[in-house]
Amino acid sequence: MLSERNAGKWLLYLVLIVIGIITLAPFAWMLSASFMPTGQANTYPPRFFPGSITTEQYEALFSRLKLLRYLLNSVIVSVSVTIISLFVNSMAGYAFAKYRFPGRDRIFRLLLAAMVIPGQVTMLPLFLMLNRMGLINTYWGIIIPGMAGIFGIFLIRQYVFSIPDSLIEAARIDGAGDFRIYWSLILPLCKPILVTLAIFTFMGTWNDFLWPLIVMTKDTMYTLPVALANLMGEHAQDTELMMAGSVLTILPVMLVFLALQKYYIRGIMMGGVKG
């Protein structure tokens, strides 16, 4: 009986490890190939370790292929969208949760209903609008449409509900104005949900592809994913170079995720309970 249970236990670990290998092997191979000299990844059987370690692929990306510029573009748009949308969404979420005004519930329901509209529907007119405003190939082309998000407003509203009205009343009696209450009372109390929302927004903007592909047509303005997809067109044969580019695209989001994974997982749960 005991040995049967033990066998079951080992089988469980075996299965879990095999799944782990399958999920991580592509990353391991990517990392390893990125340190190989040109041509070494195209061998049979596939190599899992570089014969000799070289950073020539990374050097080529930074010196010849303007990777630093793309990295900078990605950082600028992702950080800007995250910061701006946090303010915009938290103000709106707070107002929906704690103020009474005519039309509040109707507007909120309209916003929720609008979540069913896929973003792709807006892209053609949005492109024409931004084109007319001269914002194609500028950071604003990505920042402006990302400024406010319905899901973000929803998350903050749910969270602010849990803040007792008495706290707000007390602050008001102490003479704090509306903005002061939002800034020095609500925002600090909302810190956990703001961190969650910040990671989601940052990673979403960093990983986004279709919209940056549409608005960033000049090569100096590419974000990393767009640059990588374009690099694929010209350097499809240079496996090792492409792997180095993939490593650099993935690394920043991986680090953010590893540092703040608790908050990220919590965000998924909130989305999960929502339905």
Q: Which of residues 213-242 bind another protein (CB under 8 A)?
A: 213-214, 224-226, 228-229, 232, 239, 242
Distance CA 75, CA 150 (A): 23
Tokens of 168: 């707000």
Q: Contact between 245 and another protein (CB under 8 A)?
A: yes
Which of 1, 10, 23, 173 touches another protein by CB under 8 A? 23
Q: Contact between 9 and another protein (CB under 8 A)?
A: yes
| Residue placing its CB nearer to another protein in the complex, 159 or 206 | 206
| Residue placing its CB nearer to another protein in the complex, 20 or 192 | 20
Residues 47-86 vs another protein: string with x where CB under 8 A?
Answer: ----------------------------------------
The residue type at 233 = G
Distance CA 179, CA 41 (A): 58
Query: Do 207 and 253 meet the contact criterion of CB atoms below 8 Å apart?
Result: yes
Q: Where are the alpha helices (DSSP H) in the chain?
A: 2-34, 56-63, 67-98, 104-114, 120-132, 140-146, 150-161, 165-173, 178-181, 187-189, 191-207, 210-215, 224-235, 239-274
Q: Contact between 112 and another protein (CB under 8 A)?
A: no
Q: Least distance from C-beta 173 to another protein, angstroms?
A: 15
Which of 3, 106, 125, 165 touches another protein by CB under 8 A? 125
Q: Contact between 153 and another protein (CB under 8 A)?
A: yes
Task: Give the number of residues in contact with another protein, rule: CB under 8 A.
Answer: 90
* Cα–Cα nearest to 29, from 15, 11, 43: 43
Which of 29, 58, 139, 151 touches another protein by CB under 8 A? 29
Tokens of 259: 């540092």
Q: Is 70 helix (H, G, I), strand (E, B) or coil?
A: helix
Q: Contact between 147 and another protein (CB under 8 A)?
A: yes
Does the bond joining 45 to the residue before it have cis omega, within 30 degrees of 0? yes
| Residue placing its CB nearer to another protein in the complex, 56 or 108 | 108
Q: How many residues does the chain have?
A: 275
Q: Least distance from C-beta 55 to another protein, angstroms?
A: 19
Q: Is 99 helix (H, G, I), strand (E, B) or coil?
A: coil
Q: In this structure, what DSSP letter does residue 67 have? A: H
Q: Contact between 269 and another protein (CB under 8 A)?
A: yes
Q: Contact between 268 and another protein (CB under 8 A)?
A: yes
Q: In this structure, what DSSP letter does residue 17 have? A: H
Select from 50-58, 75-83, 98-106, 189-197 the region that touches another protein (CB under 8 A): 98-106
Tokens of 41: 């990844």
Which of 57, 196, 201, 246 touches another protein by CB under 8 A? 246
Q: Least distance from C-beta 249 to another protein, angstroms?
A: 4
Tokens of 275: 């339905």
φ, ψ for residue 50, nearest 5 deg = -65, 140
Please compute, for residue 204, the number of CA atoms within 13 A of its CA located in the half-sphere on the CB side. 19
Q: Is 173 helix (H, G, I), strand (E, B) or coil?
A: helix
Which of 2, 3, 64, 100 touches another protein by CB under 8 A? 100
Q: Least distance from C-beta 123 to another protein, angstroms?
A: 7
